[in-house]
Amino acid sequence: MKNIGIVGIGDWGKNLLRNFYNLSSGKLTLACDSDEKRLTAARATYNGLQTTNDFSDLIADDSIGSIVIGTPPSSHAELAIAAMEAGKDVFVEKPLALSVEDGERMVETAEKHNRILMVGHIMVYHTATLYLKNMIDSGELGDVYYMYASRVNLGKVRSIENAWWSFAPHDISIILYLLEKTPVRVTATGASYLQDGIEDVVFTTLHFADGKMAHIHVSWLDPQKDRKMTVVGSKKMVVFDDTEASEKIRIFDKGADKKQDYDTYADYLTLRTGDIVIPKIPGGEPLADECRHFLECVESRERPRSDGREGLRTLKVLRAAQESMEKGGAPIEIK
Ligand SMILES: NC(=O)c1ccc[n+]([C@@H]2O[C@H](COP(=O)([O-])OP(=O)(O)OC[C@H]3O[C@@H](n4cnc5c(N)ncnc54)[C@H](O)[C@@H]3O)[C@@H](O)[C@H]2O)c1
């Protein structure tokens, strides 16, 4: 395997640096950031790590085969395209880009140059998401009716992207992964309380062609930390609570069953409230699993679970919701 370079080792990028450095046995050789303080700290932590404040040094280094991008989203497209055109594979943090046009250019560049392009949809590498996916695919939940997610806390207030663009890629990527479909219509409303024009809180509904529905609530202005996804199926219901240390999934054997009265032949509903099961799910750091997956795909040349096309699907939902917000909650069709 060739060496790895990284650009953007800020609040989140330093976690990417740690994981890729450890997983690649020191093959992460060059880190780039425009902030000298970040570079000094990285050199002091990682033995043998070279640093630069100039991205073109990563591109020019022939020993580097892949580049990890942990910069803010406004620079993802430009950096990723330059890297892929120079023959490097790319891991780029979520969201893939800020416009669908940029996302499409990234996917086209990856395909044209036969490069691996993976977007950091960390939640599709989370063992609890994988457990939930298995439950759905095996039919244990029955027909999935609807799901809703909440990702709120009093957290890092960003000044370029709003809470929707910052948080919702996680929930959208889980929903699209679980349902294996793209919504046909999105409605969203949001409000800006702290900074003009940057929504702190957003409520979004995704509508699917087959009648399924998913709702997402994101906010960085909330008294409680919540990272929850509830999935309601015809047979069982599940709550995935990512704030729980170990009991992340609760399966409720609850539902409403349609029955028929054989005297009158009238339909009636019975409610079922059975056991609550908390399965044992392997722990670990989802980010490590995500980084490992990228390295494996670089070696095997297989399509990553969250490749550029998945990033683009999520991006289309992000954009449609943004447009809906700007139009006062009007429904926006996704083509
Ligand atoms: N997967 C997750 O759970 C998760 C969590 C937080 C953030 N993120 C994503 O990580 C990315 C970075 O977020 P963050 O919170 O670390 O931001 P940040 O502002 O803390 O860090 C960004 C870093 O990139 C550097 N940088 C920016 N442009 C550069 C350039 N052209 N060349 C070199 N260095 C450059 C900055 O100096 C800074 O150190 C975003 O895409 C964000 O959405 C993902």
Burial (CB < 10 A; 0-12, 13-18, 19+), residue 262, is exposed
CATH code for the structural domain at 3-115: 3.40.50.720
238: Cα within 13 Å, side-chain hemisphere:
26
Supply the pLDDT for residue 1.
Answer: 87
Best residue among 7, 9, 11 to mutate for probing ligand 1's pocket (most ligand atoms within 8 Å of CB) is 11
Evaluate whether 238 touches 141 at the Cβ level (below 8 Å). yes
Separation CA 79–CA 133 (nearest Å): 33
Examine the pLDDT at 266 and tell me if it is beyond 90: no
Q: Residue 65 carries which side chain, given as an amino acid letter?
A: G
This prediction's pTM: 0.96
CB count within 10 Å of CB 280 equals: 9
Q: Please tell me the distance between residue 94's alpha carbon and the centre of ligand 1 in angstroms.
A: 10
Q: Where are the domains of the chain?
A: 3-115, 124-286+316-333
| Fold: same for 3-115 and 124-286+316-333 | no
Distance from chain centroid for Cα 70: 14
Q: Indicate whether residue 75 lines ligand 1 (CB < 6 A).
A: yes
Q: Which atom of ligand 1 is nearest to the CA of 122?
A: 1
Domain 124-286+316-333 = CATH 3.40.50.1100: no
Q: Are 90 and 117 in contact (CB under 8 A)?
A: yes
CA–CA separation, 79 vs 73, rounded Å? 10
Provide the total of helices (H) and of strands (E) in the chain, helices listed first: 9, 15
66-78 burial, b at 16+ Cβ within 10 Å, e below that, comes to bbbbbbebebbbb
Q: How many CB atoms lie within 10 A of CB 221?
A: 17
Residue minimizing CA distance to atom 25 of ligand 1: 8
Q: Mind listing the pLDDT tens digit for each residue in 204-229?
A: 999 999 999 999 999 999 999 999 99
Instruction: Calculate how far, in angstroms, residue 73's C-alpha sits from the geometric centre of ligand 1.
Output: 8
CA distance 324 to 183: 14
pLDDT at 268: 86
Distance between CA atoms of residues 150 and 227, nearest Å: 6
Question: What are the tens digits of pLDDT across the range 304-330?
Answer: 999 999 999 999 999 999 999 999 999
Closest CA to 80 of 187, 8, 144: 8
- Are the CB atoms for 98 and 318 separated by under 8 Å? no
Is residue 12 within 6 Å of ligand 1 at its C-beta?
Answer: yes
Q: What is the pLDDT of residues 92-103, one digit of tens each?
A: 999 999 999 999
Q: Cα(266)–Cα(91) distance, rounded to whole angstroms?
A: 57
CA 134, chain centre distance (Å): 18
pLDDT at res. 290 = 98
Is the CB of 10 inside a 6 Å radius of any atom of ligand 1? Answer: yes
Q: Indicate whether residue 35 lines ligand 1 (CB < 6 A).
A: yes
